[in-house]
Amino acid sequence: MSDDDVAAVGSTVAAPVRASHEPPERDITDGGPDMVQFLAADGTRVPLTEVNSPYAAYLDELDDEALRGLLRDLILVRRVDSEGFALQRQGELGLWPSLLGQEAAQVGPGRAMRPQDYAFPGYREHGVAWCKGVPPENLLGMFRGVNHGGWDSQANNFHLYTIVIGNQMLHAVGYALGVQKDGDVATGDPGRDTAVMAFTGDGGTAQGDFNEALVFAAVANAPVVFYVQNNHWAISEPNERQFRVPPYRRADGFGFPGVRVDGNDVLASYAVSRAALERARGGEGPTLIEAFTYRMGAHTTSDDPTKYRISAEVDIWKAKDPVDRMRKHLLAEGVVDEAWLREVEAEADELARRIRHACQTMPNPPHEEMFEHVYAEPHPVVAREAAEFADYHAGFDD
Amino acid sequence: MTSTTPDLTTPTSTAQRTTIAKALNAGMRAAMERDPKVVLMGEDIGKLGGVFRITEGLQKDFGEDRVIDTPLAESGIMGSAVGLALRGYRPVVEIQFDGFVYPAFDQIVSQVAKMHYRSLGRLPLPIVIRIPYGGGIGAVEHHSESNESYFIHTAGLRVATVSTTDDAYWMMQQAIASDDPVVLYEPKRRYHERGVLDLGGGLPDLADAPHRLDEAVVRAEGSDVTVLTYGPMVKVALAASQASELEDGPSIEVVDLRSLSPLDTGVIEASVARTGRCITLSEAQTFTSIHSELAAHVQQHCFYSLEAPVLRVGGYNIPYPPSRHEEVFLPDLDRVLHAVETVMAY
């Protein structure tokens, strides 16, 4: 297509479509003036502005212990992720979806939730799982092919991973409708009022289920927070292939607030999530949060991002690293020192060893177990096939 | 064609004549009275009572909190029903017409059917998906389908259908009480047919139900040919059985499957063992369908009893045609009797 052709097309449509090989016209690493941020990429506190000041009070509640806790989470979650990646490369896992680069985008909301708040993840929310208290080794079963979800979701109020993109957004809304019916909203009892948090990515915003979830939540004023981690890549497709209007601005059309937050700034993602969760628990309805972040690794271990994105883009985001940012900040503030960091690194090493050991010693399930739990009540077809299967294999015993 | 609706209960002092539609309504009402966690969801089910009025009066009596008019989005309804069930509710979802279930197909197949399995039994989803189905009402496209084969193919779902007022009342309650997801098909053409229903006094005990949810019932006894059928076609099969009897033709046994998944194979096999001949009868297209499963099952398990191949009488393997064709598209008395003649000729 010549430049003239582009101009001709551009005269008839609202915005000219750029060819996919051209660099973006705008800086995709810049979240723009609406983005809530408290920590600059170099770890310094940014001044209070009209945009971030409504959330500042939540940070005042964080004492040094809580701040150290956030950094510890970031470091440990990154180690969980790198161990998952390594286990896949060594053949212990069939697949691993890395969260590298999204640690702060997940630890913020993870720590903003109360125990009674219920999270509905996609499949990359290892950081949220960590904050909700799901043992990381329990995440491995599904990636090792041992089960489809090896944790008790009701024990930690963290639902099983959902692989079909966007399905879980509606589950979150339905759960929130149940919370409403139970009267667990706006009672003023901090141990009772409950919010639900639904996680997806930029790719998920294109799904019908995502948009239906926003409609259903809006009309019911449901206590739910939609949390979109815009990591800029839906496997190989950039934001430009997903939407023309950034996700946070879509909320306005559905009738509730939308906020863009710096997803690489754990203080910002924490504070914005706190505000949205309190709104939900207080009966004020849903919020859509877009965490502006970046998928530093591949979509999963089966993906090769060098085929579709340039390393310069990755380098820019490397300079915005969420873990380094919080580490620099707390070092500069004197909240942590090198000795504390060494302790956490040692803790991370021990955690990695624990995960590795759990993975390597995870037994294959007995094959007859594949017939279990298809139905809650007895079912003749499953029972018959299970019996035939057992008989068939018993024939090889001799 | 004779138009006999079987009265399957003996009238008693508390029995009354009612319709399948009203019996379904009464079943939901009883379930809602029994369990406060039962909630109804769907399009237009509140003030309007649903486009077929099956939920009529329930919002007025149970409130908007338990009878929920949803936005017009089937995946949204199904997905939020999943969330409600995870929170401990028992949603009963109305799909307005058979052909409108497909936007919810992903949620049904990927989530509803699999949640108990993938959670290792921790997360049952006691959801009832009500679908008015079948043709014969002169409707426009997408309003007359018999798409039950999609759901019987899906492990994790139970699929059942009603053909009498009695079943409408009891099976609705049994489906709602089940800890498994149940797709409950309602023969829309027969909604307003009457039968006798004994509501007794007060809330019934489910243990008193005349049949289990997954039980097949012999509606007419016969000795020459078994017709395996359900829902809308039970009436056609019974008419064929009576017509043949009046003409001293072959003796036709009518088995109302009621449960399409799982199948009550005991009743099916016992009947075919008696008659030696089997016809499957349903509005569903025959290719890779409930017909196929029944034929395969009967040939495998009744092989030495069979005097003739199993024949399938169903919808032709085309999209549901414009309604001016439906009188020849839908199986009728003549097609059933023709199939009976064919199997008797072996």
Predicted local distance difference test score (pLDDT) of residue A6: 40
pLDDT in tens, A357-369: 999 999 999 999 9
Residue B181 shares a structural domain with residue B246 = no
Do the domain assignments include residue A60? Answer: yes
Backbone angles phi, psi at A388, to 5 degrees: -65, -40
pLDDT in tens, B157-185: 999 999 999 999 999 999 999 999 999 99
Residue B276: partners with Cβ closer than 8 Å, 6 or more residues away: B224, B305, B306, B307, B308
**Could you tell me the CATH number of the domain that includes residue A273?**
3.40.50.970
Residue A315 shares a structural domain with residue A378 = no
Predicted local distance difference test score (pLDDT) of residue A323: 98
pLDDT in tens, A231-243: 999 999 999 999 9
Partner-chain residue, chosen from A149, A162, A209, that has the shortest CB–CB distance to B75:
A209
* Contact call for residues A349 and A77 (beta carbons, < 8 A): no
Binned at pLDDT 50, 70 and 90, residue B202 comes out as confident
Residue A371: partners with Cβ closer than 8 Å, 6 or more residues away: A382, A385, A386, A389
Partner-chain residue, chosen from B80, B82, B158, that has the shortest CB–CB distance to A216:
B80
pLDDT in tens, A46-70: 999 999 999 999 999 999 999 999 9
Last residue of a domain, one of B208, B233, B266: B208
**Could you tell me the CATH number of the domain that includes residue B87?**
3.40.50.970
Residue B231 shares a structural domain with residue B196 = no
Do the domain assignments include residue B5? Answer: no
CA atoms of B286 and A389, how far apart (whole Å)? 29
Do the domain assignments include residue B2? Answer: no
Binned at pLDDT 50, 70 and 90, residue A4 comes out as very low
- Catalytic residue (choose from A124, A274, A281, A295): A295
What is the pLDDT averaged over residues B33-39?
98
Tell whether the model's pLDDT for residue A247 goes beyond 70: yes
**Could you tell me the CATH number of the domain that includes residue B337?**
3.40.50.920
Residue B158 shares a structural domain with residue B300 = no
pLDDT in tens, B262-305: 999 999 999 999 999 999 999 999 999 999 999 999 999 999 99
Predicted local distance difference test score (pLDDT) of residue B201: 75
Residue B143 shares a structural domain with residue B276 = no
Predicted local distance difference test score (pLDDT) of residue A50: 97
CB contact under 8 A, A213 and B79: yes
Residue A292 shares a structural domain with residue A378 = no
CB contact under 8 A, B84 and A159: no
CA atoms of A64 and A68, how far apart (whole Å)? 6
CA atoms of B157 and B259, how far apart (whole Å)? 11
Number of domains in chain B: 2
- Catalytic residue (choose from B143, B211, B291, B297): B143
Residue A103 shares a structural domain with residue A153 = yes
Residue A200 shares a structural domain with residue A262 = yes
Residue B99 shares a structural domain with residue B197 = yes
Partner-chain residue, chosen from B65, B86, B155, that has the shortest CB–CB distance to A175:
B86
Residue B52 shares a structural domain with residue B147 = yes
Do the domain assignments include residue B301? Answer: yes
Last residue of a domain, one of B172, B190, B208: B208
Higher-pLDDT residue of A254 and B5 is A254
Positive or negative, the Cα torsion across B178, B156, B215, B183?
Answer: positive
Do the domain assignments include residue B6? Answer: no
Residues of A with a Cβ under 8 Å from any B Cβ are 120, 147-150, 152-154, 159-160, 162, 164, 167, 169-179, 181-182, 208-209, 212-213, 215-216, 219, 372-377, 379-382
Predicted local distance difference test score (pLDDT) of residue A25: 57
By the CB < 8 Å criterion, does B158 face chain A? yes
Do the domain assignments include residue A9? Answer: no
Predicted local distance difference test score (pLDDT) of residue A22: 54
Nearest CA in chain A to B154: A374
pLDDT in tens, B63-73: 999 999 999 99
| Alpha-helix runs per DSSP H in A264-337 | 266-281, 311-318, 322-333
Residue A353 shares a structural domain with residue A372 = no
| Residue indicated by tokens 């003549």 | B334
Model pTM above 0.90? yes
What is the pLDDT averaged over residues B319-329?
97
Residue B296 shares a structural domain with residue B339 = yes
Residue A142 shares a structural domain with residue A197 = yes
Do the domain assignments include residue A147? Answer: yes
What does B226-256 look like in DSSP terms, one character per residue? EEEE-THHHHHHHHHHHHHHHTT---EEEEE
Residue A96 shares a structural domain with residue A141 = yes
Residue B282 shares a structural domain with residue B144 = no
SS in 3 state form for A126-160?
HHHHHHHCCCHHHHHHHHHCCCCCCCCHHHHCECC
Comparing CA positions, the residue from A184, A157, A281 lying closest to residue A225 is: A281
Residue A187 shares a structural domain with residue A125 = yes
Q: Residue A227: which domain range?
A: 27-360
Residue B230 shares a structural domain with residue B173 = no
Number of domains in chain A: 2
Predicted local distance difference test score (pLDDT) of residue B322: 97
Do the domain assignments include residue A117? Answer: yes
pLDDT in tens, A114-125: 999 999 999 999
Predicted local distance difference test score (pLDDT) of residue A26: 62
Residue A285 shares a structural domain with residue A387 = no
pLDDT in tens, A285-315: 999 999 999 999 999 999 999 999 989 999 9
pLDDT more than 90, % of chain A: 91
CB contact under 8 A, A178 and B116: no
Q: Residue B300: which domain range?
A: 217-344
Residue B189 shares a structural domain with residue B276 = no
Tell whether the model's pLDDT for residue A8 goes beyond 90: no
Q: What is the mean pLDDT of chain A?
A: 93
A295 belongs to the catalytic site: yes
Predicted local distance difference test score (pLDDT) of residue A27: 75
Residue B46 shares a structural domain with residue B69 = yes
Do the domain assignments include residue A169? Answer: yes
Lowest mean pLDDT among A9-23, A56-70, A203-217: A9-23
Residue B146 shares a structural domain with residue B31 = yes
